Amino acid sequence: MSAGVVTVVNEWIQTTDKNDIYTKTWKTTASPIANLVMVHGFGEHSGRYDRLFSFFATQGIECHAYDQRGWGETGKKSSQFGNNQGYDTALKDIDDAVLTHKRQDIPLFLMGHSMGGGLILNYLARGHVYKGVELLAGAIASAPLVTLSMQIPAIKYYPMRALAAIVPSMTIQAGVDSAGISHDQAEVQKYLDDPLVHDFATLATLRSFIDAGTDLLVQAKAIQTPILYSHADSDPINSFQGCKSAYEITSSEDKELKNWTGLYHELHNETMPQRQQVAEYYVAWIKKRCPHVKHRP
């Protein structure tokens, strides 16, 4: 199907461990100036990036996204809602996507939002494990999950950790507050009405994300990839301060922390004109790191 001049290709692929993964590609009309792999956030799916990546594609950036295990069409087909089958598995899926979409002489970028942002940061910090890390020209961490804005009370946190060790496959609702995703009420309603959006997760999956975020406050120092940290100081879901802490210890010589003052969690789904400003900022950041793109003085 087409989104304006952009062709969107939907495809099922099979992983090496025989899992079916749903993918989307936003293709450019001419040869792309860059490729981008996207890792979506908790409870959502790749289809929620259609507007953003249709715009990217019009700017010459071909985008590839997939519904992670436990979410979107992938979770629907497997009926394993909220089960990522292990954090290492989720990181390997990112590596496989990066290796699949790397093209000779075309810069490849990695982007992750929220849960996906935390995932890509942990991936980038493990360049000694994953071959794809050294192939990347840059990465964008959008409102990454390092620490939550509202901490889990100890009376809930420690029993959850204990239960995760005993019954890791037990599924609960995480209780995401949809009001915190955007100031645009139409976007919040679209989120609520989306049949592929859910906040179910296994205890093991929830524990892995929380632990991985805590690890980033140490592990981020191993990140050397050019990186843009993009976060709002008013994000009521993931903590801006947690993101800032990860940024400060990141070793990349080319790193930036962009604070979108007063915005909420889903920067790319905020009210106009803010969401367009976010999209244009990302495109400009990517183009600046594409060697064959002419830049305005």
Q: What distance in Å separates the CA atoms of residue 66 and residue 10, rounded to the nearest whole number?
A: 10
Is pLDDT at 19 greater than 70 in this prediction? Answer: yes
Which CATH number covers residue 65?
A: 3.40.50.1820
pLDDT digits (tens, 9 = 90+) for 163-206: 555 555 656 556 678 999 999 999 999 999 999 999 877 777 77
Does the structure show a pLDDT above 60 at 31? yes
pLDDT averaged over every residue in the chain: 89
* Domain that includes residue 162, residue range: 2-288
C-alpha torsion 22→30→94→113, nearest 10:
-90
Q: What pLDDT, on a 0 to 100 scale, did the predictor assign at position 114?
A: 94
Mean pLDDT of 4-13: 88
In a domain? residue 18: yes
Residue 165: the pLDDT is 59
Q: What is the pLDDT of residues 70-87, one digit of tens each?
A: 999 999 999 888 888 888
Is the predicted pLDDT of residue 5 greater than 50, yes or no? yes
Which of helix, strand or coil describes residue 246?
helix
For residue 188, what are the CA distances in angstroms to 65, 94, 177, 182, 243? 22, 28, 10, 6, 24
Predicted confidence (pLDDT) per residue in 224-255, tens digit: 999 999 999 999 999 999 999 999 999 999 99
Angstrom distance (rounded) from CA 47 to CA 221: 32
pLDDT, tens only, 264-291? 999 999 999 999 999 999 999 999 999 8
State the Cα–Cα distance between residues 247 and 135, nearest whole angstrom: 21
Q: Is residue 295 part of a domain?
A: no
| Inside any domain, residue 146 | yes
pLDDT tens sequence across 142-155: 999 998 755 554 44
- The Cα 124–Cα 133 span in angstroms is 6
Residue pair 54/62 in contact by the 8 Å Cβ criterion: no
Is residue 271 situated within a structural domain? yes
Task: For residue 293, tell me if it sits in a domain.
Answer: no
Structure confidence at residue 156 (pLDDT): 52
Residue 296 domain flag: no
Predicted TM-score (pTM) of the model is 0.91
In a domain, 294, yes or no: no
Q: Within a domain: residue 48? A: yes
Give how many domains the chain has, as a whole number: 1
Q: Are 123 and 213 a contacting pair, CB within 8 Å?
A: no
Nearest to 68 by CA among 94, 99, 100: 94
